[in-house]
A = this chain, B = another copy of it.
Amino acid sequence: MTAAASNAPVVRVALLGAGTVGSALIDLLRSRAAQLEVQSGARIELGGIAVADLSRARAAHVPAELLTTDGTGLVTDPAIDLVVELIGGVEPAGSLVTAALEAGKPVVTANKALLASARGVALRTLARDRGVDLLYEASVAGAVPLVRVLRESLTGERIRRVMGIVNGTTNFILTRMSEQGVDYGEALAEAQALGLAERDPSADVDGFDAAAKAAILAGVAFGYDMVIDDVEREGITGIEPADIQFAARSGYVVKPLAIVEVGDDGQLAARVHPAMLPTAHLLAGVREACNAVFIEGEAAGEVMLYGQGAGGAPTASAVLGDLIDATRNVRAGTTAPVPDRLPVRLYPSSELRSPCYVRIDVDDEPGVLGQVTRTFGDHTVSIRSMEQDAQAGGARLLFVTHAARWTEVQRTVEALAALEPVRRIGGAIRIVDGPESFGTAVPVGGSAR
């Protein structure tokens, strides 16, 4: 960065990590220098870039003279005013962010793994105690300004539920399965070929990425220090074309949802799982790798935010928004508002109620249907509808239940699996079509046909 002619004060930024997002950020800082100076009131200069390996090939616009492998030295350098952490993972990022905050330096991070860990909870506490900004808009849903809207616009709101698509890879896979009729394996292979999924896709397809984001959203929306393990998690690997087809002919679409909601008595529950959504729902129209999140507030009603959830430029744009914020706050001697700790307590999502879809392949024998429906009834899960398809040498039963506790549905599935004529059970899929999941009444059940 060359010295500019302006008299604006200089804010020196340490960048930790120079991967896709870091590289995009360096580009934005350079190409928008004049605009950023107007908007932040300061000249934002890069003071150093910490990387793991100096010898790695980098884009031409990454200034080689600023590279260092001494991250700790960089963040504690008195010449550095502000730290942007884009390394990812819990360590060494956690130690470097701690060092920065302890030195009173604001930190902007996109690190969802760190923020959703116990270490992340400690960092938020540290930032609060020291009165230093720790901003992390880019950690959830890329360019979609969820964190700021929850923290600032809806700050006077009583939030009921935050529900959305926060993982682009699984949304892409399910979109392909829905629109092109391919199976999970083919859709995953396409996502991998496009660079949307890793060679080991587990972080996405098993729901870890979305669960970390749900934990972060719980913190911002409800002030609860949630970690990833507090989020009930189910992946999309069990979804089959038969489920997608059933959804389509029943007016639903299968979407990968993250849901954090609070009941009337302050029970807070967070979960990540594929769900059937009515096709008329706005989230059903969120296709490909896009992200979108509904926020349901008591006075505001439903607010939805939509955008690109990943990618270098969108994520760097979110980092830049936070960076300008932090710079303004440093200059004004203030900090961004911190989410308040509301009186909520963790509640197991498996106790929430929703209608469910269950696919069962059985031998085509007399009495089988009776045995199956009795099993639902035994677990007080009431059946709303049933379809029967002939299969080679057997029958496929597709059930939709009335709203039922997820634990009861799981127990039903286990009991069904133990029945002699049951050959195979597809993963049960929850249906999300109403606001009610904290039902307190036990389902009446027993009405199975």
Chain B residues with CB under 8 Å of A317's CB are 154, 156-157, 297, 299-300
Query: Which of A28, A157, A340 gathers most chain B CB within 10 Å?
Result: A157
Q: Which of B314, B318, B332 contacts A332 (CB 8 A)?
A: B332
Chain B residue at smallest Cβ distance from A223: B38
Enumerate A256-296 residues with CB–CB distance to B below 8 Å: 280, 282, 285-286, 292
Query: Which of A39, A156, A324, A333 gathers most chain B CB within 10 Å?
Result: A156
| Contact across chains for A282 and B306 when beta carbons are under 8 A apart | yes
Binary contact track A141-179/B, C-beta < 8 Å → 1, others 0: 001110011001111111000000000000000000000
Chain B residue at smallest Cβ distance from A281: B285
Q: Which of B28, B303, B332 contacts A144 (CB 8 A)?
A: B303
Q: Tell me, yes or no, whether A35 is within 8 Å of chain B by CB.
A: yes
| Contact across chains for B314 and A307 when beta carbons are under 8 A apart | no
| Contact across chains for B285 and A324 when beta carbons are under 8 A apart | no
| Contact across chains for A314 and B286 when beta carbons are under 8 A apart | no
Chain B residues with CB under 8 Å of A292's CB are 304
Q: Which of B152, B154, B297, B321 contacts A155 (CB 8 A)?
A: B321
Enumerate A321-368 residues with CB–CB distance to B below 8 Å: 321, 323-325, 328, 332-334, 337, 340, 342
Q: Tell me, yes or no, whether A61 is within 8 Å of chain B by CB.
A: no
Q: Tell me, yes or no, whether A186 is within 8 Å of chain B by CB.
A: no
| Contact across chains for A299 and B324 when beta carbons are under 8 A apart | no
Q: Tell me, yes or no, whether A245 is within 8 Å of chain B by CB.
A: no
| Contact across chains for A152 and B321 when beta carbons are under 8 A apart | yes
User: Closest Cβ of chain B: how far from A343's Cβ, in Å?
Assistant: 10
9 nearest A-B residue pairs (beta carbon): A156-B320, A145-B153, A143-B300, A304-B306, A332-B334, A303-B307, A299-B317, A300-B317, A299-B313
Which A residues are closer than 8 A to B by beta carbons?
24, 28, 32, 35-36, 38-39, 137, 143-145, 148-149, 152-158, 280, 282, 285-286, 292, 297-308, 311, 313-314, 316-318, 320-321, 323-325, 328, 332-334, 337, 340, 342
